[in-house]
Amino acid sequence: MIADAEVIKVINDILVKLDIGRFCIKINHRKLLESMFEVSGCDLKMFATICSSIDKLDKETWENVRKELLDKGLTNESCDILHEFVLKKDEPNKLIEYLLSSKLYQTESGKLAIDDLVKLESNLRNLDSLSNCKYDLSLARGLD
């Protein structure tokens, strides 16, 4: 996670020097998305199609995304469980606290992802590049 932190630091440093005002670097982990799907009972074969719906949450309401997921064949129960997770976004240390006590940490992919995010948060803190970062569990763009 050192290389990932260094890339984020470079992006952060460039955006700070450009003086564009306030900005947020959103971070998620593919394995964390897989864990969310596993916990919610979704078929991993639908990874790309579910991600394309979830990624719309920055523009659409949960109700619209939920309808799209139901139209794609997800159950109400799966949508309810996904809803619990996909609206979570916060400062890395706060979201890590939540994730460590969540059902996601009980899955193999979730544990790997959360452990990576803990390391990333530590590396970003050491590089003094954490202040503009947020972990966002709805971020799924390009992960298919």
> Helix %, strand %, coil % for the chain, to 5?
65, 5, 30
Model confidence at 141, pLDDT cuts 50, 70, 90, reads confident
* Domain definitions of the chain by residue range: 2-136
pTM score > 0.85 for this model? yes
Closest to 91 measured CA to CA, from 10, 24, 7:
24
More confident residue, 26 or 142: 26
Tell me the pLDDT band of 113, cut-offs 50, 70 and 90: very high
Coil, helix or strand at residue 75: coil
Closest by Cα among 101, 103, 122, 99 to 38: 103
Confidence band (pLDDT; 50, 70, 90) for 140?
confident
Range 2-136 classified under CATH 3.20.20.150: no
> In this model, does residue 120 exceed pLDDT 80?
yes
Backbone angles phi and psi of 20, in degrees to 5? -85, 0
What are the tens digits of pLDDT across the range 74-107?
999 999 999 999 989 999 999 999 999 999 999 9
User: Is 142's pLDDT higher than 90?
Assistant: no
pLDDT classification of 38: cutoffs 50, 70, 90: very high
Q: How large a percentage of the chain has pLDDT more than 90?
A: 93
Spell out where the chain has E strands: 25-27, 89-90, 133-136
